[in-house]
A and B are shown apart, each in its own frame.
Chain A
Amino acid sequence: MSKQYDPSLALVQVNHLNTGQKISAAIGSLGLGILLFAWAAQQAPMPGIWLPTALLSLTVGVLGYAHFTYKDSPAGIKNNGVMFHSLSNRGLWAYVAGVLLTGFYVCLYWYADYLKGLIALFEPLSQWARHRPSDQWFVYGSLYTLGVLILGAKFIYKYRHNRYQIIRTVSVMFFQFVFAWLVPAWMQMMNQPEFYFTYFWPLKYDYLFPSTVNWLTNSTHLGVFLIFWGAVMTFVATPVLTYFFGKRWYCSWVCGCGALAETTGDSFRTLSDKSLSAWKIERYLIYSVLVFIVLVTILLWANSYKEGAILGEWSQTASKTYSFLIGSIFSGVIGTGFYPILGNRSWCRFGCPQAAILGIFQKYFSRFRITTNGGQCISCGNCSTYCEMGIDVKAYAQRGQDIVRASCVGCGICSAVCPRGVLRLENGSVDIFDRGSLVRNEH
């Protein structure tokens, strides 16, 4: 029998780093080192110069690394070695990163005491941005936003030939920085509630809980507007915008979870499971979570209406369970902590109830679809491999079928990596089955 291809041979000359990349990696490591030290040191206060040093060296490190990675090669798809790198390929570094990330989330949700050092590190920034002491949520939000900004810039550099990717990434960076960091900080500075305009029920599940509604309406004159805003976004904007543009208007253009996935998580997009069985699990899980949060919300309102007479204990338990299992463990610890293992969109794909609703609209009441270009597909598999949502795009493309899937977030990477120009994201008004039937393969 002839010799088989052995992928383990592919470890030659692939981890080549140029001097610029090495220096940038060293600078970035300094920033990361300060953060890890502050986390481990568990003490307050931290020297004031440390935070700007850490943030600046992280920024310079990442941008420098991107610059020295892409500057010498003409613009185009730059996925060389993705399958060989330890971090993007479930190697040792992936597990190290996974442990650090999950560890951070566990501390964040349940053991904030262990974040004392980090909280102290961010004290000056918190005082400057919102005139109040730092806490673990401020640390989290700031690091999160920094990740979106600097790795978003790297992403733009990588896809600088692709205007869809540039505009989309600028959009998520903008919404994260302005509406998920700056505006909530300002609102706190003005003694208003910390409110996120870019998150709505059911992703931000408590925004339609009776307790939040009461708190908002009682605490500020803005309260009614904020509740009105959230309700309009959930019940009016979501269906209308999804009809015209698909769920991408939110998931890959606005949403903060999407922002992190598309920028910080970009290196992990190939890790999503493309199998048919994963698709089955996805459908069971995501709609279960949706049903769960709808029931919890109804329960809470029923209870509130009955003034806690009947369902008091019960509804509180239900909402706490949801918050623990879904809000913390699923979306945080697993959803982000497991980026290097499960891929960058496991929460969005398997858990997010917002995505579930958007997906139902996308599948049945939307003009959005990905179309395929006649018979040009060569079944290479780049589209499926780089689909962060685990859609087997190739299965459709090689049959000449359009792709209309509830889970597609419209990131457009399948279209970008296709070497034969087969895939295009569209908001078409013509019925998909009427177009181009002549040249399509029978299927």
Chain B
Amino acid sequence: MRIVIIGNGIAGTNAARYIRKQSDHEVIMISEETLQPFSRTALMYIYMGHLKQENTWMYEDWFWAKNRIQRVQARVEKVLTADKTLLLHTGEQLTYDQLIIATGSKPNKFGWPGQDLPGVQGLYHLQDLATMEQYSAGLQHAIIVGGGLIGIEMAEMFHSRHIPVTFLVRESSFWNSVLPPEESEMINRHIREQGIDLRLSTELSSIHGSERVESIETNSGERIHCGFVGLTVGVSPNIDFLKDSGIETRHGVLVDEYLRASAPDVYAIGDCAQLRAPGPGRRAIEAIWYTGRMMGQTVARNICAEPAPYQPRLWFNSAKFFDIEYQVYGDIPAQTPEGVTSLYWEHTDGKKAIRINYETHSGAVRGFNLMGVRYRHEVCERWILEKKHIEIVLSELSSANFDPEFYDRYELNLAKQYYSRTEKTNHHVKAI
């Protein structure tokens, strides 16, 4: 049986790896972007000079031969589901028995005037990095539009090359659709501390230039000169090539809980997959690294072993905002809902914080938000799944700490805050 995977990001790569673990099927992985699967999340470090391109490769070269995973660098123009055939840009055809679509995302553009000028781009593919590099030569000023994870990464990238950045964020505070107000404000401060010109509640109106971008205008009418505009206003599934393929799509490729698309023997995973029925509290498209990785694993089992539904377990994610690391486990919404209490402690240096949300009545913990502090994934997950009472969690909190040795511990501060607030005296504090 021949399994063809379109896309060699984390979802496609993990699918290939797990198919090989469980079967002897022929595996072919096609990518237009690069022959060598690499870590997309590390693109920024190549630009910043922390890593070379080969440092971001997922596996050494021998790995692919040893595991008999064929790699093809080509663009898939069309998927003929009736014939189970792919048309490549070279004119070649490739048949499949099972097809896995893992083509990821592409950066959004919202129809701004001038958005297609040279020097205006997002950051997703390796090729985006190449053009970013090209436009960095002699660059005097860069504009970043969009207050999310890629936006702040791009700001950090230019900052590392001493290129001044103006960072336009539509919202009143950085990433405040995800981060609660205190954490969001912490990142605002940290961005400004780096010397980045952060403009909150500011939108892009238009982009101007002749040969290349020369300036932008904001919604307040201000004109800012620049040689580069980074558009980082989210991503959408990269599935244009599936038009007329007969595979049902909406924003992404629609898949059931087994990650099956509408056409027979076709699956979709990662950023480009849209779940018809996402689990409770989950979104239909979750364009993050970890879900792609888990979907790759699930699809491999579905094809090679017994059908198993995609179960992404408890939500978790992480990021790094300049020097502040961020980890989240479980449910920490930007606005704390009714019936939930949020225990928040922040270090006096304003760069570390711990938040634990718990149900006000039952005391069951629901989620952890960590800024500048590392907590153990497995411990936090177990507490949340077992609905552990906040006071038990506080008494055992040090077992979640994952900071390096000799670091200050803040578990006691959190417990003190909790008990001073609830005016309870409790023996648990002593146990820490």
The majority secondary structure among interface residues of chain A is: loop
CA distance A128 to B88 in the complex (A): 78
Q: Return the contact of A5 from the options B51, B53, B194, B316 (Cβ within 8 A).
A: B53
Known: A74-B323, A163-B406. A83 touches B193 (CB 8 A): no
Any A CB within 8 A of the CB of B339: no
A-B contact count (CB 8 A): 189
A77 x B55 contact (CB < 8 A)? no
B42 x A167 contact (CB < 8 A)? no
B289 x A374 contact (CB < 8 A)? no
Q: Which residue on chain A has the smallest CB distance to residue B374?
A: A421
Chain A positions within 8 Å of B46 at CB level: 5, 7, 10, 83
A379 x B45 contact (CB < 8 A)? no
Q: Which residue on chain B has the smallest CB distance to residue A417?
A: B50
Chain A positions within 8 Å of B408 at CB level: 163
CA distance A74 to B352 in the complex (A): 14
Q: Which residue on chain B has the smallest CB distance to residue A372?
A: B377
B288 to chain A, nearest CB (A): 10
Any A CB within 8 A of the CB of B73: yes
Interface string of A430-441 (1 = CB under 8 A from B): 000001101111
B51 x A424 contact (CB < 8 A)? no
CA distance A7 to B38 in the complex (A): 15
CA distance A108 to B62 in the complex (A): 42
Q: Return the contact of A374 from the options B137, B294, B377 (Cβ within 8 A).
A: B377
B57 x A3 contact (CB < 8 A)? no
Chain B positions within 8 Å of A5 at CB level: 46, 53, 126-127, 129-130, 133
A438 x B42 contact (CB < 8 A)? no
CA distance A437 to B59 in the complex (A): 24
CA distance A117 to B33 in the complex (A): 58
Interface string of B305-320 (1 = CB under 8 A from A): 0000000010010111
Chain B positions within 8 Å of A379 at CB level: 10, 39, 41-42, 56, 58
A195 to chain B, nearest CB (A): 31
A13 x B406 contact (CB < 8 A)? no
Known: A73-B194, A164-B406, A421-B318. A82 touches B290 (CB 8 A): no
A436 x B378 contact (CB < 8 A)? yes
Q: Return the contact of A12 from the options B137, B194, B406 (Cβ within 8 A).
A: B137
Interface string of B27-43 (1 = CB under 8 A from A): 00000111000010110
Any A CB within 8 A of the CB of B223: no
A251 to chain B, nearest CB (A): 16
Q: In chain B, residues 167-224, which have Cβ atoms closer than 8 Å to a Cβ of chain A?
A: 190, 193-194
A438 x B41 contact (CB < 8 A)? no
Most central of A74, A83, A381, A412 by chain B CB within 10 Å: A381
B32 x A380 contact (CB < 8 A)? no
Any A CB within 8 A of the CB of B112: no
Known: A378-B42, A421-B318. A164 touches B381 (CB 8 A): no
Any A CB within 8 A of the CB of B48: yes
Interface string of A262-276 (1 = CB under 8 A from B): 000000000000011
A164 x B405 contact (CB < 8 A)? yes
The majority secondary structure among interface residues of chain B is: mixed
Known: A376-B316, A380-B39, A420-B320. A14 touches B377 (CB 8 A): no
B352 to chain A, nearest CB (A): 11
Any A CB within 8 A of the CB of B283: no
Partner-contacting stretch, out of B155-163, B231-239, B241-249, B265-273 = B155-163
CA distance A334 to B273 in the complex (A): 53
Any B CB within 8 A of the CB of A304: no
Residues of chain A at interface, number, CB under 8 A: 63
Q: In chain B, residues 1-56, which have Cβ atoms closer than 8 Å to a Cβ of chain A?
A: 10, 18, 21, 32-34, 39, 41-42, 45-53, 55-56
CA distance A3 to B131 in the complex (A): 9
A3 x B49 contact (CB < 8 A)? no
B32 x A2 contact (CB < 8 A)? yes
A13 x B376 contact (CB < 8 A)? no
Q: Return the contact of B290 from the options A9, A275, A375, A384 (Cβ within 8 A).
A: A375
Q: Return the contact of B404 from the options A76, A162, A385, A441 (Cβ within 8 A).
A: A162
Residues of chain B at interface, number, CB under 8 A: 73
Chain B positions within 8 Å of A1 at CB level: 73
A374 x B316 contact (CB < 8 A)? yes
Interface string of A5-22 (1 = CB under 8 A from B): 111011011101000000
Known: A5-B130, A381-B51, A382-B51. A374 touches B381 (CB 8 A): yes
Q: Which residue on chain B has the smallest CB distance to residue A13?
A: B161
Chain A positions within 8 Å of B194 at CB level: 73-74
A420 x B55 contact (CB < 8 A)? no
Any B CB within 8 A of the CB of A425: yes
Q: Return the contact of A424 from the options B53, B319, B404 (Cβ within 8 A).
A: B404
Any A CB within 8 A of the CB of B240: no
A380 x B56 contact (CB < 8 A)? yes
Chain A positions within 8 Å of B21 at CB level: 442
Any B CB within 8 A of the CB of A249: no
Any B CB within 8 A of the CB of A289: no
Interface string of B286-302 (1 = CB under 8 A from A): 00011001100100000
A313 to chain B, nearest CB (A): 47
Any A CB within 8 A of the CB of B136: yes
Any A CB within 8 A of the CB of B280: no
Most central of A161, A164, A420, A424 by chain B CB within 10 Å: A420
Any B CB within 8 A of the CB of A79: yes
Q: Which residue on chain A has the smallest CB distance to residue B13?
A: A379
- Given A378-B318, A384-B55: 7 more A-B contacts, CB < 8 Å: A10-B49, A12-B133, A12-B137, A74-B323, A163-B406, A385-B52, A421-B327
* 23 A-B pairs whose Cβ atoms sit less than 8 Å apart in the complex: A2-B33, A4-B34, A5-B130, A5-B133, A9-B133, A13-B138, A79-B49, A79-B50, A80-B48, A83-B49, A164-B404, A375-B293, A376-B290, A376-B377, A378-B39, A381-B56, A382-B50, A398-B58, A425-B405, A436-B376, A438-B378, A440-B378, A441-B293
